[in-house]
């Protein structure tokens, strides 16, 4: 079919038990194992991260604040100019 792939179906419950008239999933063991594996992989990935130091964090923060202030001033000036232009045209 011209390179179109059909995704696999959704997982289904292999076992179920009836408790107090309700059907409850018994596949908890598989889910617990999947969660454990996921957390192991997350921990392994977090160990690979090179966290920034205090100086680098402060420097990056200062850069972000300066850029935000410059952008704010620029947008404020453009807004004031356009507002006066619209006011001049309308009135």
User: Which residues, in sequence order, are bridge partners of residue 18?
Assistant: 23
14 Cβ contact list (under 8 Å, min separation 6): 27
Residue 63 shares a structural domain with residue 90: yes
- Total domain count for the chain? 2
Q: Which of 6, 5, 26, 3 is nearest to 14 (CA)?
A: 26
Question: What range defines the domain where residue 91 resides?
Answer: 51-91
What is the per-residue pLDDT for 38?
94
Strand ranges (DSSP E) for the chain? Answer: 16-19, 22-25
Residue 81 shares a structural domain with residue 57: yes
What is the per-residue pLDDT for 91?
84
The reported pTM is 0.52
What is the per-residue pLDDT for 4?
74
- Round to whole Å and give the CA distance between 52 and 59: 11
């Amino acid at each position: 079919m011209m390179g179109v792939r059909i995704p696999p179906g959704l997982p289904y419950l292999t076992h179920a038990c009836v408790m107090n008239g309700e059907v409850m999933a018994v596949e908890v063991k598989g889910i617990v194992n999947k969660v454990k594996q996921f957390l192991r992989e997350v921990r392994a990935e977090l160990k690979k991260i090179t966290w920034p130091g205090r100086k680098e964090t402060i420097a990056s923060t200062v850069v972000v604040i300066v850029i935000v202030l410059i952008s704010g001033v620029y947008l404020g000036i453009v807004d004031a100019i356009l507002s006066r232009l619209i006011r001049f045209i309308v009135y």
